[in-house]
């Protein structure tokens, strides 16, 4: 059993795979059971996969993970099925193409608005605008109404990172991991516009807030409700103690996740038929970033193609290690020596090579 990791540095994944009997192969090698990559795959790479090989991205996953494509796909279903059934994203405009539509909306609702580059991550290039003149027209941007009434804990704004696995788009099969992360800002939230430039108040990204001297690191994995990063479970226990209906909240979160993926089911399933040679070749781990307002209504902020697997705290390690192990078990791997690949492709008898009671191609879990 072999794996290769390309265009990303994932020590945790490597440790888990090696501890379960996998060995790492060269990034240029075609002899692997699992290829884990931090970017989209070229069509010719997908088409070259053998039946036993798996990769961690579907073709055209950017339909969900690029901010402009996500909003366009959700808006398409709003038009088809009604806005009330797909109202989990704030009013959104793609700049510069929809500048006039934005100006019309601005006459009715003065915002504020949050401005994001269409394909950035870790809070880079994000700012809050209160007037159309503050938004440049020479960049590809997503401009959406800012959720100005966030639910706060002890006065601090937070968002959720929820891990979601998709193992098939045809038929659609979605799994939501039972644990996740709540990530807190480091400055207490105030809605007044004079504070709109304070990133550590309005942005909950770890990469932004860890630079603030007020950031509190959690150094004990068994204490899940301390510092600026909690577990999802700890947050739910806190909210329940405050009298909130956490069961209803979880149902709303699941509804957002399922509907977001439904909005991209058609284009990704079509791409799979075109580029994926075998049904089980691709799977995906998405990182959903969701904010909850003070009515306990979830709003989808974005979906991450390759959610960070870095472990900067014991709590990170505990949650991400268990999540990755469950993901690999869920995906499952065929116990197949990738070096035998040539034997299976150079002979017409290859399809029978793994049949019979003595087959080496028995399904096993990786973790």
Is the pLDDT assigned to residue 341 strictly greater than 90? no
Pull the structure tokens for residue 353.
């090579």
Give the pLDDT confidence score for residue 281 in this predicted structure: 96
Q: For residues 275 and 60, what is the distance between their CA atoms, to the nearest angstrom?
A: 10
Rounded to the nearest angstrom, the gap between the alpha carbon of residue 187 and the centroid of all alpha carbons in its chain is 25
DSSP annotation string for 246-298:
HHHHHHHHHHHHHHHHHTTHHHHHHHHHHH-SSTTSB-EEEEEEEEEBTTS-E
DSSP annotation string for 174-239:
EEEEEEEEEEE-SS-----GGGTT-HHHH---HHHHTTSTT------TT--SSTTEEEHHHHHHHH
Rounded to the nearest angstrom, the gap between the alpha carbon of residue 165 and the centroid of all alpha carbons in its chain is 9
Q: For residues 112 and 130, what is the distance between their CA atoms, to the nearest angstrom?
A: 5
Give the pLDDT confidence score for residue 355 in this predicted structure: 40
Pull the structure tokens for residue 236.
């739910």
Q: For residues 187 and 146, what is the distance between their CA atoms, to the nearest angstrom?
A: 18
Is the pLDDT assigned to residue 353 strictly greater than 90? no
Domains within the chain, CATH numbers bracketed: 61-89+149-331 (3.30.470.20), 91-146 (3.30.1490)
Which tens digit of pLDDT belongs to each residue from 299-321? 999 999 999 999 999 999 999 99
Rounded mean pLDDT of the chain? 89
Query: At what angle are helices 314-331 and 11-19 packed, to 10 degrees?
Result: 50
Which tens digit of pLDDT belongs to each residue from 132-159? 999 999 889 999 999 999 999 999 999 9
DSSP state of 89: S
Which tens digit of pLDDT belongs to each residue from 115-131? 998 876 655 688 899 99
Record the pTM: 0.89
Which tens digit of pLDDT belongs to each residue from 21-64? 999 999 899 999 999 999 999 999 999 999 999 999 999 999 99
């Amino acid at each position: 059993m072999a794996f290769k990791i390309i265009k990303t540095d994932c020590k945790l994944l490597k440790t888990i795979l090696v501890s379960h009997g996998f060995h790492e192969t060269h990034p240029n090698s075609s002899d692997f059971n699992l290829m884990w990559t931090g970017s989209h795959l070229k069509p010719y790479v997908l088409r070259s996969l053998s039946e036993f090989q798996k990769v961690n991205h579907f073709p055209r996953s950017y339909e969900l993970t690029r901010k402009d494509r996500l909003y366009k796909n959700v808006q398409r279903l709003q038009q088809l099925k009604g806005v009330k059934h797909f109202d989990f994203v704030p009013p959104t405009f793609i700049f510069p193409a929809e500048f006039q539509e934005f100006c019309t909306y601005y006459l009715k609702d003065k915002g504020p608005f949050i401005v994001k580059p269409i394909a950035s991550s870790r809070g880079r290039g994000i700012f809050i605008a209160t007037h159309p003149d503050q938004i440049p027209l020479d960049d590809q941007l997503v401009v959406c109404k800012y959720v100005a009434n966030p639910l706060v804990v002890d006065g601090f704004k937070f968002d959720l990172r929820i891990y979601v696995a998709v193992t098939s788009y045809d038929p659609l099969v979605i799994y939501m991991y039972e644990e996740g992360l709540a990530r807190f800002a480091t400055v207490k939230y105030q809605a007044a516009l004079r504070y709109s430039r304070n990133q550590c108040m309005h942005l909950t990204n770890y990469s932004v807030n860890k630079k603030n001297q007020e950031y509190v690191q959690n150094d004990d994995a068994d204490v899940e409700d301390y510092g600026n990063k909690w577990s999802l479970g700890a947050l739910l226990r806190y909210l329940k103690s405050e009298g909130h209906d956490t069961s209803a909240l979880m149902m709303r979160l699941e509804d957002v996740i399922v509907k977001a993926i439904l909005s991209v089911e058609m284009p990704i399933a079509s791409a799979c038929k075109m580029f994926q040679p075998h049904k089980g070749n691709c799977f995906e781990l998405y990182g959903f970033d969701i904010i909850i307002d003070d009515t306990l209504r979830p709003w989808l902020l974005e979906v991450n193609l390759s959610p960070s697997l870095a472990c900067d705290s014991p709590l990170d390690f505990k949650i991400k290690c268990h999540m990755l192990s469950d993901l690999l078990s869920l995906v499952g791997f065929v116990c197949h020596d990738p070096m035998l690949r040539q034997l299976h492709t150079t002979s017409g008898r290859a399809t029978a090579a793994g049949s019979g009671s003595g087959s080496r191609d028995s399904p096993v879990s990786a973790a």
